[in-house]
Structure 1
Amino acid sequence: MQIWLLPEYIEDILPPEARRIESLRRRLLDLFHVHGYLQVIPPMLEYLPSLLTGTGHDMDLKTFKVVDQLSGRMMGLRADITPQAARVDAHLLNRGGVVRLCYAGSVLQAMPEGMMQTREPLQIGAELFGHPGIESDVEIQQLMLKALQLIGLQGIHLDIGHVGIFQALMERGGVSADLEAALFQALQGKDVSSIGELAQGLDAVTRDAILLLPQLYGGIEVLERAQKSLPDYPEIRRALDDLRSIAAGVGEMADSIAFDLAELRGYHYHSGVVFAVYLPGQAHAVAKGGRYDEVGKVFGRARPATGFSMDLRVLCGALGPAAAAPAILAPHAGDAALQDKIETLRSQGEVVVMDLPGHEAQRDELNCDRVLVLRDNQWQIEKIKS
């Protein structure tokens, strides 16, 4: 066995990609900070019920499970930081008003979310607790789009849905839990033929509405079509009004926006608006989130909540290949003036690398395009001739 091999879908992050990821992390957390989001650093390992609360079975299969040798209880390696943020808000901070939290850290997933995706995303995100109105959904999506613009991404496409529409149809139509689960799976796969077969036994109003959902995808006109074609339930009217408010609040920040009323991402987890951002040439979302008002219930308070998360690895890849910053080569000499010059350059953000004795042959590996030389008793920077 080659002991240097890593498990499938687990990989090292090498320079200069590691440097870019760290730079992105700092810039994004600084952005969240100036918007009033307080950083938290939850543990990687928790007792299993705490990690899975409110998520139904969605996270169960993704979570690595271990037995705690001290207590004998089952523990899990977090597959998502959002439930941890909800625990911090509901149990530890225990504030009555609005709480804004942000975070950045690794998560581990037993199964990758898609082909060629890592099982160790570097998750960064923001969550807003304590406000049930659409204004907080708009705020969190605006912050997400600002974050993507800050790091230079272009061609931002925002997809928005609302799980409340499907929930209303299931509840009003008296659909059984098993049939609801089957319809959910068919809608997620946009499997129109299966949707038709499953909906045969439903009342006409519910059946027609379910068959229409996969067709309700597109621009703002989709909301008007839905208003005319879907049942006139109060829950559906509220959901469509929420989507219009979001369109007015964030539409100009994205390069394009679409509404998908059959999108049920995180159906057992989210309770309202859901959204995702896609980029040209990217098969998977680079950011996603939504409203999840029940996650904190097990911790004593079912606080209204909305938020988003991103994978720093994915963001880094979307920016294209990372290049190492060019450095300045400094001779290894016990010269006080040289040391002062080096420290001055480093304080200005320049990378200065000492040329250690005996390694002159490896200078090309240091990525230095300049060198410090002594001219007229002054240390000066000169270009290295190729």
Structure 2
Amino acid sequence: MAERKGGGTVKDRKTLIGKTLRAKIFNMVSVGVIDEPINRFYDFLSIVALVLNLFSAFAITYNYMEEHYKGLLLGIEAVTTFFFAIDYILRLLSANELYPKDSELTSLRKYILSFTGIVDLLSFLPYYLSVFFPVFFPAGTAVFKLFRVARILRLFRINSYYDQLNVITEVINRKKQQLMASVFIILILMMAASLCMYSVEHDRQPKVFKNAFSGIWWSASTLLTIGYGDIYPVTIMGKILAIIIAFLGVGMVAIPTGIISAGFVEQFQRLKDIGEFEEEENIHFIRVVLGSNDSWTGKKIADIGLPKDIMVVAVQRNNETIIPRGSTVLRANDLIVLCAEKTKELQPVAIKEIVINEGHSWNNTAIRDIDISRQSYIFMVRRDNKALVPNGKLVIKAGDIVLLYDKHLHNENI
């Protein structure tokens, strides 16, 4: 049996240390987690490496830059690509923190097969394949040059810093069904146009329109209003069909464009309405679930002694909503909805929200043992979507969200 130290076996302590280290790594590689200096530094380093890598990829395409600074640009690419490889390894090590409900193998598989995992892998793997296996994977091939585009996709991680960029993602998610429907219709029209053009042009241009699918390129360039011109009809009937298909193409391309434009308008209007409502609304609503030992349980609403500016607007009991009166008796497990007028004259309370993970110093620590300033105190702990009123015996656990009132911050706001 393994030797016990500090209330647990050596194996248990090693496991705990491993989980703590993995959680710290996960916090470091997660964009936007800036609670510690090393996390902020890693975010800064990631952005710098990505910008330098993209700069070198673009700059080396210029003859002057390649002639005078080729060595420097290739060096920048080598160093930044090595950073991408290290970043990928760190994300593999901390994949279980990204999917905490899954096993380690399952979380690894989910990350590797995810969109971000594939982008991270393509950011460095083609480079090293061409370095170590130049015969089988020459660096100058068009496929390997194409894989450099994957590094640009890493820019989407900057979304974590700017909420405005999330509007694009939200619009696409909200309108994805309409967009998929419009794309499906365009594909049907492309195939129909290709088949029609083959029927009327095959006899005159057998080498150009060899089969029904040979007109796909022509139909795509016509429907999408590109008009490349390498394939075109020569018969009168073919030209008439081309005119009709071109008109349909203008309308069909306008459909997804209109859907996305309408989505942006709706989203910005929604954000504006929410902002205006938040500014104009002068009422706060509070929900409270009564326990069997609460002082209000078993009393009439008229007898609980609410201040004059607070009123009970609804009571939910056993999936039934009761419009309360003064004679309504409150029971255990009732969900009470209170409303109060918002006082604009008061200064805002400075509240700090702290997310606890495996690597946090407060994890598995009782509140009374936490070393915080006398000017600060914990007034709420959220755990599993439940609000806990803290006391000295409450042990903070990984996954908790701690709400901290800091008087210094409050005084700075004032």
TM-score (normalised: structure 1): 0.20
TM-score (normalised: structure 2): 0.19
Q: Which structure has more helix as a fraction of its residues?
A: 2
